[in-house]
Structure 1
Amino acid sequence: MTRIPVNIIPELLERHDNLKGIKETVSDIGRYRKLIENVRPKNTEFVILTGFDDHLLPGMMIGTNGSINSTAVVFPEISVKLKKAMEQQHFEAVNHYQNLIAEAMQLYDINHSFFSTIKEAVSYRWFNGERVYHKKPFHLINANTRSEVERIVDNINRKWKED
């Protein structure tokens, strides 16, 4: 995958005043740091978002604004609470919410198609388990996908209610 070189982004911001932020889905957390170092001195309002669930916390610790991540589609309140707890420096709560996100990430491992798994989880949590239709190439899901999704969602919901 070709990425925009970090040193080019400040140049793009100078030329295009309609650029307001960037979402980076990269495994290298150092790229976020480089973005912050290259962009923030010139534009403090530019939004930098992480793309992986488990980068929300470390990203915020080095200065990103938040994350657009997949488990937040199923459990948006957990990412929101984590962000607020981090901003308020309530580190016991930060740890709790980060652990819930880590548990939600088990959804990634259920099926060869993460998109199908997330659709199942959203259906189960938000739409009373209505039947989910999958189009090719995501139509082939493992037989245990639904039961595993239900187990994970129920466990997190139980822990969330204990919160």
Structure 2
Amino acid sequence: MAASGTNDQSHTAVTRPLSPGIYAPIPTFFHPESEDLDLDAFEKHILRTALAGVPPVLSGSMSEAIHLSHDERSTLIKTARKVLDNAGLDKMPIISGVGAGSTRECIEFANEAADAGADCAIAICSGYFAGALAGNKKALKAFWTEISQKSPIPVMIYNYPGAAGGINLDSDLITELAVECPNLVGVKLTCGDVGKLTRIAATVSDPTFLSNHPRKYRDAPFLVLGGFTDFLLPGAYANGHGAITGLANVAPHTLVKLFELSEGSKIDPKLLGEAQRLQGIVARADATIAKSSIAGTKFLLDRLYGYGGNTRRPLPPIEPAAGEALWEHPHTRALVDLELSLVQASGPPKNM
């Protein structure tokens, strides 16, 4: 969503607007000994997910952003932009995490992300001082307000208590931020709270929201995205907008299909049964694979595509026995079988 005239408050357009759908928080791949960025693996994975219709989210939790330097984050954005453009996907947006310990550094990351080619930033509040911040609505509101005001690109809220020392924004605060901050363009709810999603969407998906609360960029509405896909179908009926989900790394075609069926079933009820079937497979797999965290996802990518590798220390790799158990788990097998069937039905991917 790189903006033209980002300092202009007159509701200009954006180059690559975010749309409802599925987004993948892309892992960062490392060479085994040096732990330098493995850009070859990164490029392959960006292309694989993008060709399935899934835009990338970089430098978030799945990306091990806390382990990445400023230069590395910028390198990943530039590399992803090159891959997408070379594949003819020059209109596909890139979201980049700008989380850091201080508001000041988050804004620095936002400026660097914009310079590197990111279209949107996503910001999480650091949990280092969660004891002082978690119950302080004024401080939390000021955090996202200031970042959205000073960022040269649109900003999303990232609500993930597990990565923020337990800081968990309620629906009232998120809705207030959406109403009052025209450069905020969405929220990722990795709290897994369907009720929260429903309450926020009841405001921002109302037909009058944009007219009553114009956004800074006219093609940048406020999206309410889940952080998991175990409630993608219920979320669609609550007027949510999809998900940013680690499972999209393993099964991008499946999640795109589920999203399309979920949305389509609101128009054609005959699609609901198949949407429910896929939602059951996805929900079970999401719960199983999420327990293995980043290392488990990388293990599955190794098995499926021949790349993945280890996390960056001190984050430990998955134990071999646990990895094998994850691979052989019936929930994983059902998802993998579904994904491979959809890939086969769609034919060989281009540009791979």
Aligned counterpart, 2:298? 119
**Does structure 1 retain, via aligned residues, the 8 Å contact 2:186–2:223?**
yes
Contact 2:235 2:242 in 1 (8 A): yes
Superposition TM-score, scaled by structure 2 size: 0.40
Q: What residue in structure 2 maps to residue 135 of structure 1?
A: 312
Gaps of 5+ in 1: none
Amino acid at match of 1:29: V
Partner of 1:12: 177
- Name which of structure 1's ranges 131-140 and 19-28 shifts more when overlaid on structure 2: 131-140
Q: Is residue 43 of structure 1 aligned with residue 209 of structure 2?
A: yes
Per the alignment, in what secondary structure is the counterpart of residue 320 of structure 2?
coil
Q: Which residue number in structure 2 is paired with residue 96 of structure 1? A: 277
User: TM (normalized to structure 1)?
Assistant: 0.79
8 Å CA contact 2:227–2:243 kept in 1: the answer is yes
Contact 1:78 1:100 (8 Å CA) reproduced: no
Which residue of structure 1 aligns with residue 261 of structure 2? 85
Q: How far is 1:118 from its partner?
A: 0.6
Q: Does 1:108 pair with 2:290? A: yes
Equivalents in 1 of 2:177, 2:284: separation in Å?
38
Secondary structure (helix, strand or coil) at the match of 1:26 reads coil
SS in 2 for 1:20: strand
- C-alpha displacement of 1:62: 1.1
Structure 1 match to 2:97 = none
The one-letter code matched in structure 2 to 1:93 is E
Distance 1:93 1:40 in 2: 25
Name the counterpart of 2:161.
none
Report if the CA contact (8 A) 1:115-1:138 is conserved. no
Cα deviation for residue 148 of structure 1 reads: 2.6
2:323 is equivalent to residue 146 of structure 1: yes
User: Which residue number in structure 2 is paired with residue 158 of structure 1?
Assistant: 337
2:197 to 32, 52, 58: 32
Alpha-carbon shift at residue 85 of structure 1 (Å): 0.8
Kept in 2: contact 1:82–1:94 (CA 8 A): yes
Q: Could you say what the CA RMSD is over the residues aligned between the two structures, in angstroms?
A: 2.5
Bigger shift: residues 96-105 or 61-70: 96-105
Distance in 2, Cα, partners of 1:104 & 1:10: 31
Which of the pair has more CA radius of gyration? 2
Question: Comparing both structures, which one devotes a greater share of its residues to helix?
Answer: 1
Give, in angstroms, the shift of residue 160 of structure 1: 4.1
Matches within 5 A, 1:51-90: 51-89=227-265, 90=271
Partner amino acid, structure 1, of 2:336: N
Give deviations 1:34-61, integer Å, cap 9, x for gaps.
1122333453532100112212222112
Query: Relative to structure 1, is the Cα distance of residues 123 and 36 closer, same or farther in structure 2, using a 3 angstrom cutoff?
Result: same
Q: How many residues align?
A: 158
Q: Percent identity?
A: 22
Please identify, of 151-160 and 29-38, the stretch whose mean Cα deviation from structure 2 is larger. 151-160
Letter in 2 for 1:139: P
